[in-house]
Structures are given as structure tokens and as C-alpha cells.
Amino acid sequence: MSTENAHDPRARLVREKYFSLRPKPLERWLWAQGVPASAERVFWLHWQEGLQRGDWCSEVPLKRVARECCLDLSTVTRAYQLLAKLGCVRRTDPGRDPANPFNQATAVTEVRVPRELLVELDRHPNRRAGLAVKHEDLAPVRASGPVATVAVAEAPKPLDPFLGLSGRDRLKALAQLTNGMSAAEQTLYREAMRTHAAHISFDADSKLSAEDRGRVLQFLSVLAFQPARAAPERPPALAPAARGPRKLSLFELARLKRDIQGATTSAAAPELMRQVVWSIEEGSLTRFPLVHAIHIALKKIREGAWTRPNRMPPHWARAMSAPLETCRRA
């Protein structure tokens, strides 16, 4: 980026003003679907809010969405309907707030990647290694500064030797390689896959060509690279309890709050919500998958069999809504 003229308004916009990140594959997918500009505005607003929170969820009142997107309320409502139909967002009503029973609750919106885009995501080119941005470093993007300040260098990802092939074709190509190995090579190959090793030794008279041996080593390098990168991103519902207490997302908290209010009285709902969340995140329900744990808790509440968890700290509290924003758009 040229900085020769410090007073150039274009340079000032990039250097001093807020900006947002829009992944190209997702933006082009929205264009290909013919999504109206109004719906795009609504989607990117929630994308940026969810990115800043870190859990891809946001609680933005309808009037604020209309104001920030320069749209009327009916247009925003139609945009939500279209985006939900495309699989770009999902929304849920968190239930009434006992402190404000006559106010309409703000729906929780979660942005999602459409299934059609997920299928072809690997076909889109990646950024250079020096420009890769970690997920945890994306939240401060709205702070002022040039684009270069958000670039975080990280180790380059090994190139997949079967990139662009479908699942069936990948298996077929991999089977051709393994069938050409000797018994000793296959043993070393399976052990490398088990231990996530990136290298094996081939026989001196190996039947595999130099090109095929390179593909095998390249494939093992990809497998060895993935566990370290993918493990922290596993969904909380699928991660084992040994990895630490899981945290319900804002969307999951909102849906749980609504379901508890429907299963009990308004007066008892807040305390039951506190107990259920603790039990799911840190108590006895952590050993169950998330959806199963929620169903167990709701069934016990409906049957009147729910009791306060024994080990629950008396003053335990959990933030049930979006954190206060420390900065706003200029």
C-alpha cells in the first residue's frame, strides 16, 4: 500500500477508519445466487458482529439492523427469510426477559456457511502463508489501522496431493498407491497414519515410482499437519470432557432459555437456567453430547424431577447475553 501522500483521503480511509473482512468464496457465492444487495447488507452486518464476538452469533435489534443497513423494517424481515432459506443464517427467539415482560425479545442470529459452498471450499485458492490470519486474531479487525496489521505469519499448510478430487476418486487414487506397496511399506504407512508421522522409509527395490513415493509422503504431511490445526476448532458438543469445560454459544443459550421458559413458570426459569447451564458445561451432563444433555435436562424439568446439582457453587454465574461492546463504528 502506497503511503507517499499521507493526506490522500484514500490512504486515510485504509489507515485510520474501520474496515471489515469478507471472505471471497462466500462473497462470490452470494453473488452467484443473485442475493439482493439489501440481504447482503444484513448478512455482512451479522457476519461482522459474530466475527467480533468470536462465536458467530449476535443479538442486534431489528431497528438497529434497519438503521445501519439503511433499509426499512419490512426489507430486513424479507432479507432474514431469504438468508435462512439459503442456509446463510439461523435465528432463534431467546424467550421473554422476566425483568422486561412487555418488551419484544431480540432474536439471536448465527451466520453459517451454506452447504453448497462447503462442498467446493477446497477448490478455492488460499492466501499466501505470510498473509494467513488466525481465528482468534480476527476480533480486533474493526480497530483502526492498515490492513497489514492484521496479517499473522504462520507455517504454510502442505499441499494436498489429491486436491480437487471427489471423495470417491480420492479413495481410489490412495488405494492405487497403497496396493503398490510391499507388506513392510504398508506396515510403516499404517503406523505413520496412526502416529501422524510425516515420513516413512521405502524399500530399496520399492515398486512405487519416485512420483508415487512423493505423493505418499505429501499425503502423510497433510495428515500430520491437520491434528494440530483442527483440534482447537472442534465443536464443543463433539469434544470430549477431558479437553476442559465446554461453553454454550449465544445461540445455544438463547434456545435453551426459550425451551426452559416453555417447560416451567416465568419465576422459576432464571434459576433453572443457571443450574442447567452449569450442569451442561461443568457438571454431570458434560459426559453427554450437547443435544442429548439438553434433552435430558428439559425432560427432567417437565417431569418435575430436576434437582439442583450438588457440586454447583452457590453464587456461580454465566454471562447469558452478548458482552458490552467496548467500541462502536465511527
- pLDDT tens-digit profile of 214-235? 888 888 887 777 554 444 444 4
Q: Which three cell numbers stand for residue 221?
A: 504431511
CA distance to 88, 163, 168, 206, per residue, from 177 (Å) = 39, 16, 15, 12
Confirm whether 135 is domain-assigned: no
Query: Which amino acid, residue 156?
Result: P
Residue 208 domain boundaries: 167-233
pLDDT score recorded for residue 226: 58
Query: How many domains does the chain contain in total?
Result: 3
What angle (nearest 5°) sits at the alpha carbon of residue 51, between those of residues 324 and 133?
130
What is the predicted pLDDT for the residue at 94? 83
Q: What is the mean pLDDT of the chain?
A: 78
In a shared domain, residues 226 and 262: no
CA nearest to 256, candidates 240, 241, 278: 278
Query: Residue 282 and residue 245: Cα distance in Å, rounded?
Result: 6
Of the candidates 141, 133, 86, 134, the one whose C-alpha atom is nearest the C-alpha of residue 329 is: 141
- Of 24, 232, 16, nearest to 134 by C-alpha is 232
Q: CA neighbours within 13 Å on the CB side: how many for 324?
A: 1
First to last CA, the chain: 23
In angstroms, the Cα distances linking 130 to 64, 65, 148, 233, 278 are: 37, 35, 10, 21, 41
Task: Give residue 99's pLDDT.
Answer: 65
Q: Which of 97-106, 139-148, 290-299 has the highest mean pLDDT?
A: 290-299
Kindly tell me if the per-residue pLDDT of 284 is higher than 70: yes
Among 233, 265, 288, the domain-final residue is 233
146 falls within a domain: no
Q: Could you identify the residue written with the cell 452469533?
A: 57
pLDDT (0 to 100) of residue 316: 82
- Can you tell me the mean pLDDT for 99-126? 83
Q: How do the residues of the chain divide into helix, strand and coil, expressed in percent and rounded to 5?
A: 55, 5, 45
Residue 19 burial by Cβ neighbours in a 10 Å radius (0-12, 13-18, 19+): middle
Q: How does pLDDT run across 39-70, given as a tens digit for each residue? A: 999 999 999 998 888 889 998 999 999 999 99
Domain-embedded: residue 155: no
Q: Which of 233, 252, 282 is the last residue of a domain?
A: 233
Residues 14 and 121 in one domain: yes
Q: Give the whole-angstrom CA distance, residue 277 versus residue 259.
A: 13
**36 pLDDT higher than 90:** yes
Higher pLDDT, 70 or 98: 70
The pLDDT confidence band at residue 140, using thresholds 50, 70 and 90, is very low
Please tell me the predicted confidence (pLDDT) of residue 9.
87
Angstrom CA distances, 222 to 127, 195, 228, stand at: 17, 13, 11
Does 201 share its domain with 282?
Answer: no
Of residues 162 and 216, more confidence is placed in 216
Q: Given 208, 233, 258, which residue is the final one in a domain?
A: 233
Residues 196 and 286 in one domain: no
Q: Are residues 204 and 288 in the same domain?
A: no
Q: What percent of the chain has pLDDT over 90?
A: 19
Q: What does the pLDDT read at residue 80?
A: 94
Residue 148 belongs to a domain: no
Write out the three cell numbers for 255: 434456545
The SS3 of residue 208 is coil
Per the CB < 8 A criterion, the answer to whether 215 and 161 are in contact is yes
Stated pTM of the model: 0.55
- Give residue 174's identity as a one-letter amino acid code: L
Q: Are residues 215 and 255 in the same domain?
A: no
DSSP states of 22-49 as a string? --HHHHHHHHHTT--HHHHHHHHHHHHH
Residue 219: alpha-carbon gap to chain centroid: 26
What are the phi and psi torsion angles at 205 (to 5°)? Answer: -105, 40
Measure the CA–CA gap between 186 and 202, rounded to whole angstroms: 10
Same domain, 52 and 92: yes
Is residue 147 over pLDDT 50? no
pLDDT of 178 reads 85
- What Rg do the C-alpha atoms of the chain give, in angstroms? 25
Contact present, 287 and 307 (Cβ < 8 Å): no
Taking the C-alpha atoms of residue 299 and residue 32, their distance in angstroms, rounded to an integer, is 44
Given pLDDT bands bounded at 50, 70 and 90, which one contains residue 261? Answer: confident
